[in-house]
Amino acid sequence: MYHYARLYIALGDASSGLAMLGRAIDGGFFAYPYFRSDPFLDAVRGQAPLEEAIARAASRHDAFRAAMKA
Protein backbone atom coordinates (compact mmCIF):
# COMPACT_ATOMS: atom_id res chain seq x y z
CA MET A 1 0.00 0.00 0.00
CA TYR A 2 2.78 2.39 0.87
CA HIS A 3 4.44 2.03 -2.50
CA TYR A 4 1.14 2.71 -4.24
CA ALA A 5 0.68 5.79 -2.07
CA ARG A 6 4.10 7.05 -3.14
CA LEU A 7 3.27 6.50 -6.80
CA TYR A 8 -0.08 8.27 -6.59
CA ILE A 9 1.59 11.27 -4.99
CA ALA A 10 4.48 11.26 -7.48
CA LEU A 11 1.95 11.21 -10.34
CA GLY A 12 0.11 14.21 -8.93
CA ASP A 13 -2.88 12.51 -7.28
CA ALA A 14 -2.21 13.64 -3.73
CA SER A 15 -5.68 12.86 -2.37
CA SER A 16 -5.54 9.22 -3.53
CA GLY A 17 -1.94 8.94 -2.36
CA LEU A 18 -2.73 10.24 1.10
CA ALA A 19 -5.75 7.95 1.35
CA MET A 20 -3.55 5.01 0.37
CA LEU A 21 -0.95 6.11 2.94
CA GLY A 22 -3.67 6.00 5.59
CA ARG A 23 -4.56 2.47 4.51
CA ALA A 24 -0.90 1.47 4.71
CA ILE A 25 -0.64 2.82 8.26
CA ASP A 26 -3.90 1.14 9.28
CA GLY A 27 -2.60 -2.08 7.74
CA GLY A 28 0.50 -2.06 9.93
CA PHE A 29 3.16 -0.13 8.02
CA PHE A 30 4.02 2.71 10.37
CA ALA A 31 7.72 3.35 9.75
CA TYR A 32 7.25 7.06 10.30
CA PRO A 33 10.97 8.00 10.33
CA TYR A 34 11.05 6.82 6.73
CA PHE A 35 7.96 8.90 5.88
CA ARG A 36 9.82 12.01 7.04
CA SER A 37 12.65 11.51 4.55
CA ASP A 38 10.95 9.79 1.59
CA PRO A 39 11.43 12.08 -1.44
CA PHE A 40 8.28 10.67 -3.06
CA LEU A 41 6.26 12.47 -0.38
CA ASP A 42 7.89 15.85 -0.99
CA ALA A 43 4.94 17.06 -3.07
CA VAL A 44 2.69 16.89 0.00
CA ARG A 45 5.27 17.60 2.68
CA GLY A 46 4.05 20.18 5.17
CA GLN A 47 0.40 19.63 4.29
CA ALA A 48 -1.92 18.81 7.17
CA PRO A 49 -3.08 15.40 5.87
CA LEU A 50 0.50 14.13 5.61
CA GLU A 51 1.48 15.54 8.99
CA GLU A 52 -1.61 13.92 10.55
CA ALA A 53 -0.75 10.59 8.93
CA ILE A 54 2.83 10.82 10.19
CA ALA A 55 1.58 11.62 13.70
CA ARG A 56 -0.75 8.60 13.58
CA ALA A 57 2.10 6.40 12.36
CA ALA A 58 4.37 7.71 15.12
CA SER A 59 1.72 6.91 17.72
CA ARG A 60 1.34 3.35 16.42
CA HIS A 61 5.13 2.98 16.26
CA ASP A 62 5.53 4.12 19.86
CA ALA A 63 2.74 1.80 21.04
CA PHE A 64 4.38 -1.11 19.24
CA ARG A 65 7.78 -0.38 20.80
CA ALA A 66 6.21 -0.12 24.25
CA ALA A 67 4.43 -3.44 23.77
CA MET A 68 7.68 -5.09 22.71
CA LYS A 69 9.39 -3.91 25.91
CA ALA A 70 6.61 -5.25 28.14
pLDDT at residue 58, as a whole number? 96
Concatenated DSSP letters of the chain: -HHHHHHHHHTT-HHHHHHHHHHHHHTT---HHHHHH-GGGGGGTT-HHHHHHHHHHHHHHHHHHHHHH-
State pTM to two decimals. Answer: 0.88
Across the chain, mean pLDDT equals 95
State the Cα–Cα distance between residues 29 and 70, nearest whole angstrom. Answer: 21
pLDDT at residue 28, as a whole number? 94
pLDDT at residue 70, as a whole number? 79
pLDDT tens for each residue of the chain, 70 residues long: 999 999 999 999 999 999 999 999 999 999 989 999 999 999 999 999 999 999 999 999 999 999 999 7
Q: Are 54 and 36 in contact (CB under 8 A)?
A: yes
